[in-house]
Amino acid sequence: MAKGVVELLSKPKVVGKRQVSPRGYFLEVYLPLVAQKAKAGQFVTFQATELSPRQPLQVVDVDPQRGTFSVLVEAHNRATVELVELLEEGTEIFNVGGPNGTPFPVEKYGTVLLVGQGWGAAANYPIAKELLSAQNEVYAALVGGSRENIYCEEDYKKLLGEDKVLVHTEEDDYGREGGVSEAVEAFIKEVKTPDLIVFAGSPVGGEAVAEITKSKGIKNISLVASNMLCTGGLCLTCRVKVGDKMVLNCIEGPYLDGNAVDWKMVSFRNGYYWDLEKEALEYFINKLLPKLKRKKQKA
Ligand code: FES
């Protein structure tokens, strides 16, 4: 079989794992198909083992030459805790599907402010690169509860220049004080009114940014972090109301018209399974993980 075909059929494998915060890890994964095809704004779906839940994760970086791509995993639910606990450098991953979703619409907008809340900063990073190449003036606001939720700060500074990166935290004194609303308001007041705001983070953060962009008439393209199951347009779990239409976020998103998204509905639907999510996480940590660790020690 030709080398290229063998590469495309090979199992996804972790080739790098780097912890960057107490709960945050960058995984570099060998999977040439994704590394060669993924475009800014698209995501991949991970499943650590045959029994693991599926987890969509934004592609942060690609290296088509090496056949690898990187994602940020912030361990917060059973699927992400499994990825962090079970995948080490050299581990084969049961399944990685993708790239999924619609690439970000890269064009010349003018001045763009990318607002990344927590993990959203990593999600926006490939978009920053593309928007810069398309001759936009690009700024990044990185917002987190505390310093440990600020991701990719050095990468953004290298890419955009120190003066184009603004850091805000709500609970400690790293960077300036405040959340997403304060970050956007401060930028408009002290720098300029951008032509476009790109947001990635929680639906509550998305709603806060949309309130400002709608009132000021600023274009808004936001990542909508809705629940996803099949990530292929079959289960309807991910549907989001955008204006008067319901759209499948796994197909048309995850970056949608933030000014038209019904953010309250996204938050409501995400909270719907919260108890079951919590139960599944506790079951994995207390029952399955110790068993898997004992089995590994014996092997
Ligand atoms: S996640 Fe199943 S239709 Fe989108």
Domains detected in the chain: 3-100 (2.40.30.10), 111-271 (3.40.50.80)
pLDDT in the model for residue 274 = 85
Q: What is the longest distance spanned by two Cα atoms in the chain?
A: 62
DSSP of 187-213, one letter per residue?
HHHHT---SEEEEES-HHHHHHHHHHH
What is the distance in A from the centroid of ligand 1 to the CA of 248? Answer: 6
pLDDT > 60? residue 1: no
Report the atom number in ligand 1 closest to the C-alpha of 228. Answer: 1
pLDDT of residue 25: 96
* 3-class SS shares of the chain: helix, strand, coil, % to 5: 40, 30, 35
What pLDDT shows up at residue 272? 85
Percentage of residues in the chain with pLDDT exceeding 90? 86
16 lines ligand 1 (CB under 6 A): no
The tokens of 230 are what? 């099949």
Cβ(247) to ligand 1 under 6 A?
no
> What pLDDT is attached to residue 9?
61
Helix (H, G, I), strand (E, B) or coil at 220: strand
Q: Distance, CA 87 to ligand 1 centroid (Å)?
A: 25
- 100's enclosing H/E stretch is strand 95-100
Cβ of 240 less than 6 Å from ligand 1: no
The verdict on pTM exceeding 0.85 is yes
Q: Is 23 left (phi over 0), alpha (psi -120 to 50) or beta?
A: alpha
Please work out whether the CB of residue 246 comes within 6 Å of at least one atom of ligand 1. Answer: no
Residue 14 is predicted with a pLDDT of: 97
Rounded to 5°, the CA angle 90-92-93 comes to 130
Q: What is the mean pLDDT of the chain?
A: 94
Please report which helix (H) or strand (E) contains residue 176, including its range.
strand 176-177
Contact 209, 220 (CB under 8 A): yes
Res 62 pLDDT > 80: yes
Q: How far is the CA of 214 from the centre of ligand 1 (A)?
A: 28
Cα separation of 128 and 106, whole Å? 10
* Mean of pLDDT values over 80-104: 94
The per-residue pLDDT for range 283-297, each reduced to its tens digit, is: 999 998 888 888 877
Residues making up the chain, counted from first to last = 299
The CB of 231 under 6 Å from ligand 1? The reply is: yes
pLDDT tens figures, 170-226: 988 899 999 999 999 999 999 999 999 999 999 999 999 999 999 999 999 999 999
**Is pLDDT at 44 greater than 80 in this prediction?**
yes
Residue-level pLDDT at 261: 98
Give the pLDDT confidence score for residue 4 in this predicted structure: 58
For 5-40, what is each residue's pLDDT tens digit?
Answer: 555 567 899 999 999 999 999 999 999 999 999 999
